[in-house]
Homo-oligomer: A and B are copies of this chain.
């Protein structure tokens, strides 16, 4: 299993605070040791840094600590391989362009093979690596492509995030029986997050209080630098700070934008998946007190 982290911010935010705690989980305080990756949006551009080395001793992670990037939307992932070797092409987040937007995806879980559901004949997106996760991402992207290509003459627009939400909801319903499917997906404006078994979030807003990292000894006082316009939603597999986090229910599909929770749907998790997840959940380390 893996660790997911996503941020949705009203203002461009220096994300080094949340990544410091997250990176320590890549082998130091946790056992997620088969690579990691982070995607930062800077307006329309998206930079992806991945490494097949554990995050806590990755030179790319070290470089990122000293080179803070301000971003409104971030997706990060630390990988414990369940399928696919510790290779660069198997590191999340994965990225694809659709209608002039970069889309990124990271997954926590373990899916059965999708079979012929994701052949190239079904759309333009195909996996580069060998993970279940990238196959599921391509499945979702092919569904989005099919929708917007079919609607081209009706001026359907990928900026219609409600339409995007509904296609992701349908795709999640289709993929759900294949296994554990916690994910975060962003197009640079919205963050879509699904809780199959485990996902939490916290929304930070003005006036900010201090927050202590769960995985490190770093403490940052948000009150020192926040303004009333700032608002940040942090979504993670397990809480990263000693703030009060909201634990999602299995089946929650959420949409965040500019640090606010905008929409929620329920996509039931099949009983068979919940049954297997009892084993999988026990594999996740406990949150440090």
Nearest chain B residue, comparing its CB with the CB of A100: B126
- Chain A 50-94, CB-CB to B under 8 Å as 1, else 0, gives 100000000110010011000000000000000000011101000
Output the least CB separation between A165 and chain B (Å). 21
Give Cα distance in the complex from A174 to B42, angstroms: 33
**Interface residues, chain A, CB within 8 Å of chain B?**
42-45, 47-48, 50, 59-60, 63, 66-67, 87-89, 91, 96-102, 120-121, 123-129, 145, 148-149, 152
* Known pairs A102-B128, A124-B124 / 11 extra A-B pairs, C-beta < 8 Å: A42-B88, A43-B87, A43-B88, A47-B88, A48-B48, A59-B67, A60-B67, A63-B63, A100-B127, A100-B128, A121-B152
10 residue pairs, one from A and one from B, having the closest CB atoms? A45-B88, A45-B89, A124-B124, A100-B126, A63-B63, A44-B89, A42-B88, A59-B67, A121-B152, A99-B120
What are 30 sample pairs from A and B whose C-beta atoms fall under 8 A apart?
A42-B88, A43-B88, A43-B89, A44-B87, A44-B128, A45-B50, A45-B87, A45-B88, A45-B89, A45-B91, A45-B129, A47-B50, A47-B88, A59-B63, A60-B67, A63-B63, A63-B67, A96-B97, A97-B128, A99-B120, A99-B126, A100-B120, A100-B126, A101-B128, A102-B128, A120-B148, A120-B149, A121-B149, A121-B152, A124-B124
